Structure 1
Amino acid sequence: MTSPMTSLTSGPTSTRTRRTHRTRTALTAGLAAFALLGLSACSEEPAQDATDIVADAQAQDYRDDQAESQRVREAYRQLPQPTSGTVRISGNRGSLTPDEVFAFNQSGTSTDVSMTYDGEDAAFAALCSGEIDIVDSSREVTRAELEACRRVGLDLVQFQVASDAIVVATKNESDVGGDCLSTDQVREIYRAGSPVTRWSQLGDGFDDVPLKVGGPNRENNAFTFFGQYVLGAPQPAMTNLRSDYRAFDTDQGSRLFVVGREKDYDLAGKLRERSRKRELIKQQLSDWYPVVNDAKDEVQVAREEVAKGQRDQRPLATQQADQARLQRAIAALEAAQRRMRVLEARKREITAVWERSVNARKRVQASRGNVAYFRFSYYELFEEQLRPFEITTPEGERNCIFPSQQTITSGEYPLARRMLLTTTQRSLERNEVAEFLLHYLKNAEDDATRARLVSVPAADIEVQKAWVTGDAEPVFVELDPEPIVTTDEQPSTSLQPAR
């Protein structure tokens, strides 16, 4: 079933759809029978021509429709009557509805709205038995549930109040060889026991770089969403994920795991200049070593001359000159050594700074293959840092869909869920239900923003409000017309809104 936002025009009723299908089947059978009769060259004139066969089938179809309509009307009359002044809702925890119920009940209304958390399956069953007015869900009604409602004369209307989505992303301005993953590949990357440690293991096109995975811990709503929708775990736990999964307390932690720290980028960006300074100080030291060695040689020669002058009993003036030469040589050596110590200290400082840039660059490069998942609302805040993957469904009905407000709201993006309210035409005609739905829809955008969800476009909200006020006919949830099938085909079971 597609989003209720994908079609805003009402279409044929389900009874008419079924009748058209049966008539078409009968017509086909009649023409086939006529063809078989005509192919026999020696056959007698048929007892009943094709027109009579079709007429009989249409008559039987009419009688069946009348009987079915009578049965549905009787089942509708047997439904429990709602309590005046109350609205009953059921579904799952974790949506916008509990807060909206509280806000509505505090608004001064005389209507009392209550909500129970029985789960989506039980909630749809209760809706189709007339026990509640609204189902709060993040999934659409199934074919079996819709048929159950139809059997008791209940037409369903589905409202969308918000959406949510998971974005799987690597670092922006980096490349792992591909921009599109299937949902199966995402599951394979994250599942418990996954053998994938390099991107190249995902198939042709991906680069042979290390793959490391991270994401939020169990306290984050995205963890539950990802576990249910990607890993297929009804109650997601860390055991559903690979053993080297890096769980972070905050979305910021997951983001830094993927993109690295800004300080590292800053340090890595200074590596070239720091390398130049390091080479310069190394050259200065290299140039100064001969100066120090020459000064040492001069001291040695001067000492030898002083000693020789004393042995040879040179004139006092000569010995004093030798001694002065030695003092100058010692002073020059000490000055050269002091300069060398300054240069060596400077080299150690520059080398330490250079090493920090080298290590930062290594960390930046190492994060190239890191991948994590985020709620769409967080990704939007840092889209200049994160590079999201487009997602393809396993069967390929939706290929490489980019996460955007439009594709998420429509349900086209595979890792999205829509916050839906499903009610019946009977409940929608109740003033209490209409009052609550209008209040909900008026606050839906602000509620979604506060909850870090994707809000429904204002134009679509206005259309849905018109369904409630009666200014526009609501779009009933409809079954796709079943195709005529041969023995080699199976009928489609997809659900679609009325067209």
Structure 2
Amino acid sequence: MAFMLKRVSLLSAIALVASTLGLPISPVQSITPGTVQIDGSSTVYPITEAVAEEFQKKGGGRATVGISGTGGGFKKFCRNEIDIADASRPILAKEMAACRAAGVQYIELPIAYDALTVVVNRQSPVNNLTTAELKKMWEPGAQGKVSRWNQVRAGLPNAPLRLYGAGPDSGTFDYFTEAIVGKPKSSRRDYTPSEDDNVLVQGVARDKNALGYFGYAYYRANTNRLKAVSINGVLPSAQTVRSGKYQPLSRPIFIYVNAKSLQRPEVKKFAEYYMNNASRLSAAVGYVALPANGYAIAKQHLQKRKVGTVFAGDAPVGLRIEALLQREAKF
């Protein structure tokens, strides 16, 4: 886990310096034979990176894992530039259309559940927020108006409210804005955005007046620096996700495998290794593993090359684990 977080920190630093200096970061131009190329969600990154490390150590082949955000990953995926897209939400209708236009077919594989976590600095007195209060601070109308904590709720500190959140190419941004504000991508813009969750971790950890949101694994790896905020009185945990109590911020996370890439032995081996070890590794990095029958269904879809999605081009909010499995079983 420590090595993985160091790699995330290095990627974050490179991205931050490049962004600051206005330097371009060269995109992947095309799929490279012999190498499994993965890109997309920073939320899913810790699981995929753990899988890739083990796969390579056991002589399975070479795998590279990037962080472009879910939306950025799907752009590359639908341009046939990568073999696998990491996604913190289901594929959207516009992405389905882009893949269809490029002749890219895909196998959708749920790999775990995430408790999307709202965090504050360890020194913050804030312990609980309601979804209504989150909406009050994140909705577009809050921009330039809700700038202090006591404007969110009477009794909170008369101190600057500094926000850190997912960037617009992030699936976390899409999910959070729909779950909290009521419409995907509907958010104030005067906050610090990043598709890399580690950048957000660093920002909140340095500022006692900050608040941010990102995947549960990044909170779990930084509990000495951050404090999770309960939402409507419920803290994020494996137990509250499984019970369905942590709503509306629990969500399934996925990988999407290019069906044509699966014809290459290294991609087939990697995808099979991923699904055989997703339960163990998703729990190890801090996410909530699916029930055993969930992975069994996903493995069947992979084996039978079941292309397409169980979703209708949108990302439903509050989908409980059992409801996801029912969709998968009927597919």
Give TM-score scaled by structure 1 length.
Answer: 0.38
Q: Which residue of 2 aligns with 1:488?
A: none
**Matches for 1:247-326 after TM superposition, within 5 Å:** 248=205
Query: Which residue number corresponds to residue 87 of structure 2?
Result: 137
Q: Which residue does the alignment assign to 2:106? A: 156
List per-residue Cα deviations over 1:259-304 (Å, max 9, x = no partner).
Answer: xxxxxxxxxxxxxxxxxxxxxxxxxxxxxxxxxxxxxxxxxxxxxx
Aligned counterpart, 1:234: 193
Partner of 2:109, secondary structure, is strand
The correspondence for 2:155, drawn from 191, 198, 209, is: 209
Aligned-residue offset at 1:408: 5.2
1:469 matched to 2:303? The reply is yes
- The residue type equivalent to 1:107 in the other structure is K
Residue identity matched to 1:128: C
User: Secondary structure of 2:267's match?
Assistant: helix
1:106 to 2:47 alignment: no
Match of 2:117 among 158, 163, 166: 166
Which aligned pairs between 1:344-383 and structure 2 lie closer than 5 A?
376=216
Residues 450 and 197 of structure 1: CA distance in aligned 2, closer, same or farther (over 3 Å): same
Provide Cα deviations, 1:341-376, integer angstroms capped at 9, x if missing partner. xxxxxxxxxxxxxxxxxxxxxxxxxxxxxx997975
C-alpha change, 1:429 and 1:435, in structure 2 (3 Å) is same
Q: 1:455 aligns with which of 282, 289, 296?
A: 289
Seen in structure 2, the aligned counterparts of structure 1 residues 415 and 185 have a Cα distance that, compared at 3 Å, is farther
Tell me, yes or no, if the aligned pair for 1:143 and 1:494 is still in contact at 8 Å. Answer: yes
State, as a whole percentage, how many aligned pairs show the same letter: 22
Output the amino acid matched with 1:187: W
Q: Is the 8 A contact 1:181 1:390 kept in 2?
A: no
* Aligned position for 1:389: 231
Structure 2 vs 1, CA of residues 375 and 117 (structure 1 numbering), >3 Å: closer, same or farther?
closer
Which TM-score applies when normalising by structure 2? 0.54
What secondary structure is seen at the aligned counterpart in 1 of 2:37? Answer: strand
**Structure 1 residues 116 and 390: alpha-carbon distance in aligned structure 2, compared to 1, 3 A threshold:** same
1:247 and 1:375 mapped to 2: Cα distance?
A: 14
Q: CA deviation at 1:436?
A: 0.7
| Amino acid in structure 1 at the alignment position of 2:146 | S
Check whether the contact 1:434–1:468 (CA below 8 A) recurs between aligned residues.
no
* Structure 1 residue 166: Cα displacement: 0.9
Contact persistence 2:166–2:193 (CA under 8 A): no
* C-alpha spacing 1:165/1:438, structure 2 compared with 1 (3 Å): same
Q: 1:442 to 1:124 in 2, by over 3 A?
A: same
* SS of match in other structure, 2:110: strand
Contact kept? 1:87, 1:112, Cα under 8 Å = yes
The letter for the 2-side match of 1:101 is A
Map of 2:23 onto structure 1: none
Cα distance in 1 between the residues matched to 2:315 and 2:215: 28
Aligned partners of 2:311 and 2:289: how far apart in 1?
Answer: 27
- Residue 91 (structure 1) aligned with residue 40 (structure 2): yes
SS across alignment from 1:477: coil
More helix by share: 1
Aligned 1:36-51 pairs, distance under 5 A: none
Distance change (3 Å), C-alpha of 1:216 and 1:103 = farther
8 A contact 2:90–2:315 mirrored in 1: no
Give the Cα separation in 1 of the matches to 2:292 and 2:272: 14
**Against the structure 1 CA distance between its residues 142 and 107, is the aligned structure 2 distance closer, same or farther, given a 3 Å change threshold?**
same
**Aligned match for 1:124, one of 71, 74, 81:** 74
CA contact (8 A) 1:479 1:495 kept: yes
Q: Is the 8 A contact 2:128 2:230 kept in 1?
A: no
1:108 is aligned with what amino acid?
G
Find the residue that maps to 1:455 and give its secondary structure: coil
**Structure-to-structure mapping, 1:393-412, within 5 angstroms:** 403=236, 405=238
**CA–CA separation in structure 2 for the residues paired with 1:177 and 1:138:** 25
Q: Which runs of 5+ in 1 are unaligned?
A: 1-79, 170-174, 218-222, 258-370, 392-400, 481-492
Conserved? CA contact 1:101–1:113, under 8 Å: yes
Q: How many residues align?
A: 255
Residues in 2 aligned to 1:372 and 1:148: alpha-carbon distance in whole angstroms: 32
Which consecutive unaligned segments of at least 5 residues does structure 2 have? 1-28, 121-125, 177-187, 317-326
Question: For 1:181, what is the secondary structure of its paired residue?
Answer: helix
Superposed CA RMSD in Å reads 5.3
CA distance in 2, matches of 1:164, 1:142: 21
Distance 2:213 2:77 in 1: 35
User: What CA deviation, in whole Å up to 9, does each residue of 1:163-196 have, x standing for no partner?
Assistant: 2411469xxxxx99985536412427x9776255
Rounded Cα–Cα distance in structure 2 between residues aligned with 1:247 and 1:427:
39
Change (3 A) 1:168 1:247: closer
Question: In 2, distance between residues paired with 1:372 and 1:117?
Answer: 19
